[in-house]
Amino acid sequence: MNAASFYSKVPRHLVAVDCIIFGFDEGKLKLLVIKRKVAPMAGEWSLVGGFVQTDESTDDAAARVLKLTTGLDDIYMDQLHCYGEVARDTGARVISVAYYALIRIKDHDKPLAQEHGAHWLELENMPELIFDHKKMIEDALVKLRDNAQFHPIGFELLPEKFTLSQLRCLYEEIYGRTLDKRNFRKKILSLDVMEKLEEKDKTSSKKGAHLYRFDADKYDQLKRKGLVFEI
């Protein structure tokens, strides 16, 4: 059999990407979701998505969709899972590859997002979503937890400069449980991957809290030497 006859007569499918876009604001994990504009399910809440084009990889498609809605490039994104049930999309048979992204809410293009009907909703208070998007979000949260424990991805959700309280609050949100203040400080500081700045943040206390910055270069160096990041 030659290549032409091997690949011909094979069914072709619509392939979509859906993005679970995490943000962190006001001490809460949030997701960027949109009011769907097209039938079926127009007007319902949906993840941000789009179809994979002929000349782009699925990774590229996810990056394109993210940029289209947030204006952001060069963002932490990871593939979550491919959802391939025949009837998962009620409009047509669509195979969807889901990605999750971590962004700094402050950095995104707010007008652009609004133009696309996008809203930041609290993870803990998600409305009904179309198709299997709820399941995607659940799966993404599990994966986020797993990854955040052993990789320094939490910093992707915080501003460049942040306080230890903010960082702890973020991890508490991700893990869904409280963390001991002293143990958390001890552990994260012992990793020695953050730079302590002179500046203090006074927005949330009279005393002021030191700001820190994640040092990616230092992390890479230490990782090569065998550092095991764990929070």
56 touches, from DNA, its own copies, none (C-beta below 5 to 8 Å by class): its own copies
Phi, psi of 39 (to 5 degrees): -75, 155
195 binds DNA per the rule CB under 7 A: no
Number of residues in the chain: 231
The angle formed by the CA atoms of residues 59, 61 and 63, to the nearest 5 degrees, is: 70
CB 140 within 8 A of CB 18: no
Q: Taking CB under 7 A as the rule, does residue 73 contact DNA?
A: no
Regarding 181 and contact with its own copies (CB under 8 A), the answer is no
Is residue 173 near DNA by the rule CB under 7 A?
no
209, 164 in Cβ contact below 8 A? Answer: yes
Rg (CA), the chain: 20
CB distance 193 to 214 below 8 Å? yes
Choosing among DNA, its own copies, none, which partner's interface includes residue 15 (Cβ < 5 to 8 Å by kind)?
its own copies
Interacting residue with its own copies among 26, 74, 86, 225 (CB under 8 A): 86
User: Binding its own copies by CB under 8 A: which of 25, 27, 35, 40?
Assistant: 40
**Which parts of this chain interact with its own copies (CB under 8 A)?**
1-3, 6-7, 10-15, 37-40, 51-59, 61, 79, 81-82, 84-86, 91-95, 97
